Amino acid sequence: MRGAAKWFFEFFSPDHFQGTSITSVLHTGQTKYQSVEVLTTGAFGRCLVLDGKIQSAELDEFIYHEALVHPSMLAHARPRRVFIAGGGEGATAREVLKHKTVEQVVMADIDGEVVELCRRYLQDRHGGAFEDRRLELHIEDARAVLERVSGAFDVIVLDLPDPIEAGPASLLYTEGFYALVREKLGAGGVMVTQSGPCNITNLREVFSPIHNTLKRVFPLVAPYHAVVPAFGGSWGFNLASLGRDPRAFSKATVDRALASRGGIATRFYDGESHAGMFSLPRYLRDGLAQETRVITEDSPIFLY
């Protein structure tokens, strides 16, 4: 390789990888749950890497986090109480807290070491969210916290690590867990989950079975995508609603809602982007329509 002594490679399959030069290693280690690295890279800037996969990159984290959070927050008429599963770097909380309607955010991440590393090295990600009085942080399994806390949530955001074998989050992509999420939503409640890559090479790996599993639990499931270069291309999300369908929102409706929630500042998401995210190419629509798998604890799925 030209021009760099060290490289980071992320493999998406035995035949496909993406690489970037490493300019500095800020941290490398192993927590109780996963390997963790904080790297400064030539292509993507400072990155959080868990179990060999980039979770957040300085260059484009705003695309992922705005895409994950704002469609679900706008799908609820007035979200006051929000639950976040995962999201250790604090960027998901950062975006949720931009909505002036929010009174409480309950966030649960199982890996306290990762949270502390993010607070130390990735201040640009959380933007002070950990100091916001509305945030209640639990260093604990997200399922246990969700089962224990009382009261309903308006929006539940699942910002979990990818479901990899022996990873800490694989059982939080199952029909049983999604049923718990539905039970914890209030009237008109909305949930969203990151759903892995949805390129033509790998859309059937986790994106389509997550979508099919959610359809067993929720009356309305709206799949969407956004291009996140650090993740290797098109990234999938699935939004499930007990109320409004975000696909019915016009561009003007989205822009007005962002303004009315406190003039939410974004770099990626607006009415124009919203329309594009929910407009899926035919190969994605076909892949979702052909999917028959349902994810359970006895039949989990794993990303390569």
Q: Is 302 a member of any domain?
A: no
- Residues 31 and 66 reside in one and the same domain: no
pLDDT (0 to 100) of residue 260: 97
Residues 52 and 65 grouped into a single domain: no
With left for phi above 0 and alpha for psi between -120 and 50, is residue 6 left, alpha or beta? Answer: beta
Residues 17 and 101 in one domain: no
17 lies in some domain = yes
Distance CA 86, CA 162 (A): 11
Kindly state whether residue 296 falls inside one of the protein's structural domains.
Answer: no
E-assigned strands of the chain?
7-13, 16-30, 35-41, 45-50, 53-57, 81-86, 104-109, 135-139, 153-159, 185-197, 220-228, 233-241
Distance CA 189, CA 171 (A): 22
The answer to whether residue 85 is domain-embedded is: yes
- Residue-level pLDDT at 277: 99
Helical (H) or strand (E) element with 181: helix 175-184
Q: Identify the residue whose tokens are 């997550």.
A: 210
Give first-to-last CA distance, the chain, whole Å. 25
Q: What is the pLDDT along the chain (304 residues), one digit of tens a residue?
A: 566 679 999 999 999 999 999 999 999 999 999 999 999 999 999 999 999 999 999 999 999 999 999 999 999 999 999 999 999 999 999 999 999 999 999 999 999 999 999 999 999 999 999 999 999 999 999 999 999 999 999 999 999 999 998 888 999 999 999 999 999 999 999 999 999 999 999 999 999 999 999 999 999 999 999 999 999 999 999 999 999 999 999 999 999 999 999 999 999 999 999 999 999 999 999 999 999 999 999 999 999 9
1 in a domain, yes or no? no
Is residue 261 one of the residues assigned to a domain?
A: yes
pLDDT of residue 233: 97
Same domain? 92 vs 182? yes
pLDDT (0 to 100) of residue 131: 96
Q: Give the structural domain span for 28.
A: 7-57
Residue 298 domain flag: no
Q: Are residues 249 and 286 in the same domain?
A: yes
Q: Total structural domains in the chain?
A: 2
Q: Is the same domain home to 126 and 226? A: yes
Same domain, 75 and 47: no
Domain of residue 34, CATH code: 2.30.140.10
**Do 88 and 105 fall into the same domain?**
yes
* Same domain as 273, residue 216: yes
pLDDT in the model for residue 151 = 97
118 and 12 in one domain?
A: no
Q: Which pLDDT score, from 0 to 100, does residue 4 have?
A: 61
CA 246 to mean position of chain CA atoms: 17
Q: How many CA atoms lie within 13 A of 183 on its CB side?
A: 12
Question: Which of the listed residues 57, 73, 95 is the one where a domain comes to its end?
Answer: 57
Which are the catalytic amino acids? 159
- CB neighbour list of residue 245: distance below 8 Å, 6 or more residues apart: 75, 220, 222
Answer yes or no: is 198 within a domain.
yes
CATH number of the domain residue 98 falls in: 3.40.50.150
- Say whether both 151 and 31 belong to one domain: no
Closest CA to 95 of 110, 107, 113: 107
Q: Do 220 and 270 belong to one domain?
A: yes
- CB count, 10 Å around CB of 15? 7
Residue of 55, 34, 40 whose CA lies nearest to 6: 40
